[in-house]
Amino acid sequence: MRSLPIFILFILLLAGCGSETSWAYQFVQYNDVPYIVTEENVESGDIRGEIGEVKEYLKSEKNPPNFSSNVYKKGTKLFKISKVDSSEAIAVKLKGGTFMKLEANKE
C-alpha cells in the first residue's frame, strides 16, 4: 500500500517529461535570419512576389538552414510585403489564404 503513492508520483513525473522541443519563439529561417511569427495580418493587396517556401520542418533545436521553420510545414509559401524591405519583414500564407507577418530578429 505504501508503494502506491510513490508509483503515482513516478507516473506523474514521467508524464511531465515530454519529448517535444521547447523553442524560444516560432520562426522561419530566411537569408540566414530568423523571422519571428507575429499576430499581425497582411492584406492580400499588400503581398508582392513569392520568395520561396518552407523546405524543412524542424523537429529538434539545431542550427536552422534557410527556408526552415519550427511552426510551418514543408511547402508553406513565403512572400514579400509591399513597401516593406524583406530584411525587416516577410509574410507567410496560411491555410484559408490569409497572410501573417513575420519580423526579422536581428539579434
pLDDT digits (tens, 9 = 90+) for 9-53: 455 444 445 445 578 999 999 999 999 999 999 999 999 999 999
Eight-state DSSP code of residue 66: T
Residue position matching grid coordinates 511531465: 16
Provide the 3-class DSSP secondary structure of residue 45: helix
DSSP calls for 11-24: HHHHHT-------S
pLDDT of 34 reads: 97
CA dist., res. 19 & res. 4, Å (int): 26
Q: What is the pTM of this model?
A: 0.78
